[in-house]
Structure 1
Amino acid sequence: MTLRDRLEQALAKGHENDLDHLLYNERDHIDDLKILRDAAVLIAVTDRPDPGVIFVQRPQHMRNHPGQVAFPGGKIDPEDHDPIDAALREAHEEVSLDRSHVDVIGLTDSFQSGSGYNIQPVLSVIPPDLPFVADPTEVESWFEAPLEYLLDPKNRTTHEGTWNGRKRHYYEIYWQDYRIWGITAGILNNLGKRLDW
């Protein structure tokens, strides 16, 4: 069975039932979900014996989420056909990932952020060792971390913090010198439960 087949079957099976846990997003702290700006991120899994996931690190000079690790992605623009189109466009803009290399598997659960976004993750498979080039206006660096490591609950810790006067729970994963936390780690936690990895 190919990696793509494995992920597709696991994702479909995982979405047959409701998750019985909080997704650690900001949904419960937002009064009106209609005011959120739609966004999409690409979960790009590399097709290798030990699959990895591509991440970007935001530059420190960015207004929103400076220095944070994230999936390639961003706001859905009016010219985007759907979240998949937006995620592919953003990944191309940020790291020069050509959409012809992306095999989209499907969508998983959206996350709502306290910073005002409704984020739609798009799961995909890409060839390994593509020659990514980071756009310095949006990406300080990019890296690949092992999928199995990211989805292993032993490698995630849960934390509590206060933001805008409210207590929030969030996940945190460390891979080498990178801190993956907040919505990105929450998406990984949820993906692990959907895939039963």
Structure 2
Amino acid sequence: MDEEARLRRAIQRPAGESSDFDLNPGLPMPVGRTLRPAGVLVPVWLHPKGARVLLTKRASHLKHHPGQISLPGGKLEPGDADVKAAALREAQEEIALPSHLVEVLGTLAAHETVTGFMVTPVLGLIRDDFDPRPEAGEVEEVFSVPLAHLLDPGRYSIERRQWMGQWRHYFAAPYGPYYIWGATARIMRGLAERAAL
């Protein structure tokens, strides 16, 4: 089965929501928390040599998640029709990906972050060439990872680090010099689980 067909099959499978708290049942939930809706694009660039997923390295000067690897996306803005529109808008802003080049296959299960967002991943295919350009204010680098790497459940491990005085466990799937972890790794692991069935 080719990569596109595998993704189309995976997106049809049901899956439950995930959370940064899944691996950390002892972490206290913030009191009175209100989750803000956000959308991220899982941009799969179809290449003759194999499909690749576009990711970003966030700028090191940012207040939130500096230097982290992430999918292009962000919070729902007043002008966005829905989280899909937010994901496409942010991808255009962050990596110069024109929305008309993206064929949206559907959405993956939403993911709750410890920073108070309910993130809906939008799975999209890119068939045409384009020139990825990082938005200087937010993105330090745009790079790609083979889809096969991110769809291999064996690439994911559970690691931990200190967060707010407690150990926090999370998924990680490093690729070369890029440390893919946290919500990005959890979202991609969810897709890998659906694609493996």
* CA displacement, residues 39-65 of structure 1 (integer Å, 9 cap, x when unaligned): 110000011241110000001000100
Identity %: 35
Q: Which moved more, 1:80-89 or 1:45-54?
A: 45-54
Name the TM-score, length of structure 1 as normaliser.
Answer: 0.88
Give the match for residue 94 of structure 2: 94
Aligned length: 192
Paired amino acid for 1:189: R
Q: Structure 1 106/131 Cα, relative in aligned 2: closer, same or farther at 3 Å?
A: same
| C-alpha contact 1:161 1:167 (8 A) present in aligned 2 | yes
1:93-172 equivalences in 2 (<5 Å):
93-127=93-127, 129-172=129-172
Gaps of 5+ in 1: none
How far residue 178 of structure 1 moved from its aligned partner, in angstroms, is 0.7
Gaps of 5+ in 2: none
More helix per residue: 1 or 2?
1
Runs of 4 or more above 4 Å deviation: 31-34
Name the TM-score, length of structure 2 as normaliser.
Answer: 0.88
2: CA distance, partners of 1:121 / 1:30: 23
Q: Secondary structure at the match of 2:183?
A: helix
Give the match for residue 190 of structure 2: 190
How far residue 160 of structure 1 moved from its aligned partner, in angstroms, is 2.5
How far residue 33 of structure 1 moved from its aligned partner, in angstroms, is 8.1
Give the match for residue 43 of structure 1: 42
How large is the Cα RMSD of the aligned pairs?
2.2
* CA displacement, residues 10-61 of structure 1 (integer Å, 9 cap, x when unaligned): 220x21x659xxx452366535786011111000001124111000000100
Give the match for residue 26 of structure 1: 21
* CA displacement, residues 94-134 of structure 1 (integer Å, 9 cap, x when unaligned): 01100000000001111111111111100110125421111
